[in-house]
Amino acid sequence: MIERYTLPEMGRVWSEANKYEIWCRVETLVLEAHAKAGNVPADAVEPVRNAAAPTPEAVKKIEDVTQHDVIAFLSAWADNTTPREAAAYVHFGMTSSDLLDTALAVQLTEATDILLAKADKLVAVLRDHALAHRGTLRVGRTHGIHGEPDVWGHRVADFAYGVARSRDRLRRAREAVGMAAISGPVGTYSNIDPAIEEHVAAELGLTAAPVSTQVVLRDGVSEWVSALGIMATVLEAIALEVRHGQRTEVRELWEPFKKGQKGSSAMPHKKNPIISERLAGLARIVRAEIVPVMEGIPLWHERDISHSSTERIALPDASIALDYMLNLTIRLMEGLVVDADRMKANLESTGGLIYTSTVLSELIESGARTGLSREDAYALVQRAAMRTWETGTPFRETLREEAAAGGQQLDEQRLDEVCRPERFVERLDGMFTRLGSLS
């Protein structure tokens, strides 16, 4: 991932330096377990434990010759080991994928913990924003068209629960990827005791894979990157709502706009939803990593390396991009400007058309007394509504005229009650009460 979208903490997880430090940890733990079991000389452990991790530059210099990253790492690390002979027992009984898959599991869990912490914060930000706007009236829209009265807090509450579910999904995926595999060539433990695998897994906070060939099957990694893709898409849904709300014709929402910020090189009046647009673009990147990673599940027999080149790009890029997206969404929601007056004005802008469904229900309910069928009630309300669309005449007025033309008497007092905007959201109280305990 390019530096522009890489935050320091997540960037460190996927750095070459961190990878080699983890490789050193894994190899040292295996060596310690071997020494404890009497498989290798005990005096080999301390020199290896004290040897500095090789630099990425040192490993690359050797890999340019060997064309094998693990061998290059082992050679470069041996160069840092005194006496060098102690390094002979490093990687004892292991195959490359034992090191690669176990270390990758550590990186994936480290990355996941960063994402989970930010997701926790975003859930809290969305929850508090929704509760603060539980009474902020706005129109609810379907297909982009005004539907019925709603409150802004209701929309945000939906996002809060969506992010919370995405976080919980990612937490489950953490378990799926947190697996160590130290099982030797083709996974038969031919040169290594399963007890060593259990020891290494426990020390690293991982679970020993219940079965591995020469690699851990990639269904867990696929689950993990899919969880990232879902969360990224939920964040895009938040961004899309803000983008629609900031359109000039709507003007209900505004992204934070700092002093000195510029919206356009040519049009000084512009305040563009650039945070939300960036979120929409990055969500595509995260989603795009799902299929390539999933295609790493089927490999030739016990292993090939067609998955590894993909994962070197896809796994860091997906987590780095989502990390940036979470950071950006928190910033967006903490600084979001909500224009309650504009929301109210938009709600009232169609002359009462947002009450057609409740008026229809009221006419149907009173039909037993008035003799008005559902079909006739629908036709009456629709005729009145279409006249309002076409002429701009308030809906209550066109409704009254259409009813009179059909010989129908309206209960004006009852219509006043059912067309009160607050009435539409009174039953959301229970939802908001539940939302208050979301964490």
In sign, the C-alpha dihedral spanning 344, 349, 354, 360 is: positive
Task: Identify which of 203, 131, 152 has the alpha carbon closest to the alpha carbon of residue 338.
Answer: 152
CB atoms within 10 A of CB 375: 8
118 phi, psi to nearest 5 deg: -75, -35
- Whether the Cβ atoms of residue 166 and residue 184 lie closer than 8 Å to each other: no
- The span from the first CA to the last CA of the chain, in angstroms, equals 31
Tokens of 145: 């068209």
Query: Which residue numbers are catalytic?
Result: 143, 264
Tell me the three-class secondary structure of the chain, residue by residue: CCHHHCCHHHHHHCCHHHHHHHHHHHHHHHHHHHHHHCCCCHHHHHHHHHCCCCCHHHHHHHHHHHCCHHHHHHHHHHHCCCCHHHHHHCCCCCCHHHHHHHHHHHHHHHHHHHHHHHHHHHHHHHHHHHHHCCCCEEEEEECCEEEEEEEHHHHHHHHHHHHHHHHHHHHHHHHHHCEECCCCHHHCCCCCCHHHHHHHHHHHCCEECCCCCCCCCCHHHHHHHHHHHHHHHHHHHHHHHHHHHCCCCCCCEECCCCCCCCCCCCCCCCCCCHHHHHHHHHHHHHHHCHHHHHCCCCCCCCCCCHHHHHHHHHHHHHHHHHHHHHHHHHHHHHHCEECHHHHHHHHCCCCCHHHHHHHHHHHHHCHHHHCCCHHHHHHHHHHHHHHHHHHCCCHHHHHHHHHHHCCCCCCHHHHHHHCCHHHHHHHHHHHHHHHCCCC
Task: Identify which of 239, 159, 234, 209 has the alpha carbon closest to the alpha carbon of residue 438.
Answer: 159
Q: How many CA atoms lie within 13 A of 395 on its CB side?
A: 22
CB atoms within 10 A of CB 212: 26
Tokens of 430: 């229970």
